[in-house]
Amino acid sequence: MVRERLGVGAEAFPLARVLEGGTWAAGRRIARSLRADGGPPITVVSDGTVF
């Protein structure tokens, strides 16, 4: 329905792009409206180690 409304096909607008727009991109936009720096609500100090 999203592709149809935008008038684009699956090749130009794959499902991954639809999902990204409805999750990550939307979340970043909301964060910018709620917090001055647009960052996450909780900051974790980490060196990237996963255990």
- What per-residue confidence (pLDDT) applies to 4? 93
Q: How many CA atoms lie within 13 A of 26 on its CB side?
A: 7
Exposed e or buried b for every residue in 29-44, given b needs 16+ CB within 10 A? Answer: eeeeeeeeeeeeeeee
Provide the residue-wise pLDDT of the chain in tens; the chain has 51 residues: 888 999 999 999 999 988 887 888 888 888 889 888 888 888 888 898 887
- What per-residue confidence (pLDDT) applies to 50? 85
Q: What ranges do the domains of the chain cover? A: 2-34
pTM of full prediction above 0.85: no
- What per-residue confidence (pLDDT) applies to 42? 84
How far lies 39's CA from each of 14, 33, 49, 51, in Å? 28, 10, 21, 24
- What per-residue confidence (pLDDT) applies to 19? 86
- What per-residue confidence (pLDDT) applies to 13? 92
